[in-house]
Amino acid sequence: MTDPEPPPAGSTQPDAHPDRAPEPPRDGRQRLVEALRRPGSRGQVVAAVLLLVLGFAAVTQVRSNGRDDNYVGARQGDLIQFINSLSLASQRAENDIARLQATRQSLGNDALARRTALSRARQQATTLGILAGTVPATGPGVRVTVTDPENGSGVGTNQMINGLQELRDAGAEVIEINDKVRVVAQTSLTDGNGGLIVDGHQLKAPYTIDAIGDPHTLATALDFTGGFISEVESVGGKVDVRELDKVDVTSTRKATAPRYALPAGSG
């Protein structure tokens, strides 16, 4: 027996089951179900996991945003009360800020007033110290040198007191004799053996008087007819006056408390 010959090219082979009905066309849902039932590849599993994570993150973010909005769905009365509370808190904060700013300004004014008062007090203390002779001083003025050929028997207290008074009248603010004795209101001069005794200090000629003030005015006050220079020359002495841009007075004296005088209204 020989095998049957294959059908010629181009001819159609008859259906092996001619009695089977043709399958109906499948819709999209059936195709999806069939696709899900098939075992997936590794790439599809990874894609599914990624989609799952992305969906979980999206849901979490939505819920978080919902929790941050605390006042969604709140009643109108609650919202009004909340706004009023915020307004009161803001007003209290502004009042506190205003009070603190006023306190700061007051402290600044007090500090400025204290600094000004302290500066004035220091300036006044310096001025009084110069006048009282308790602090050194420097400034323009004159240096007066008085020579006495008689070694103290010619020039005495009469001439020196007049010379010091003329310097004071001309505006001398500081006076010093022989770089040793500071001349103040309480300074005393007496004739000594071979010289002058000034506040207990024995001084000998030549006498050097340093005075701080306007140099020209001080020099002019000593040189007039019948003035200090004339008086010294009348007893055989000589006077040399030099105007200087800077005179340094270094001698000082201790401040003494008044025995009798008191501030007005203190007792």
Q: CA nearest 210: which of 237, 186, 236, 182?
A: 182
pLDDT at 107: 81
Token pair of 6, please? 């294959």
Q: Looking at residue 25, what is its pLDDT?
A: 61
Q: What is the mean pLDDT of each run of 10 residues along the chain (267 residues)?
A: 50 50 61 63 64 70 56 68 81 88 82 84 89 93 91 82 94 94 92 88 93 95 90 92 96 86 77
What pairs with residue 241 in β-bridges?
144
Instruction: Count the neighbouring beta carbons within 10 Å of the beta carbon of residue 238.
Output: 14
Q: How far apart are CA 233 and CA 162, in angstroms?
A: 14
Instruction: Report the alpha-carbon distance of residue 70 to residue 220 in Å, rounded.
Output: 95
Q: CA–CA separation, 173 vs 170, rounded Å?
A: 9
**According to the model, what pLDDT value does residue 149 have?**
80
**pTM, to two decimals:** 0.57
User: Residue 243 pairs with which residues in a beta bridge?
Assistant: 142
User: What is the structure's pLDDT at 5?
Assistant: 53
- What's the pLDDT at 12? 46
Instruction: Write down the pLDDT at residue 75.
Output: 73
pLDDT of residue 96: 87
What is the layout of strands, in order, in the sheet containing 189-192?
A: 189-192, 195-198, 201-203
The pLDDT, as a whole number, for residue 68 is 47
Read off the tokens for 38.
Answer: 């098939």
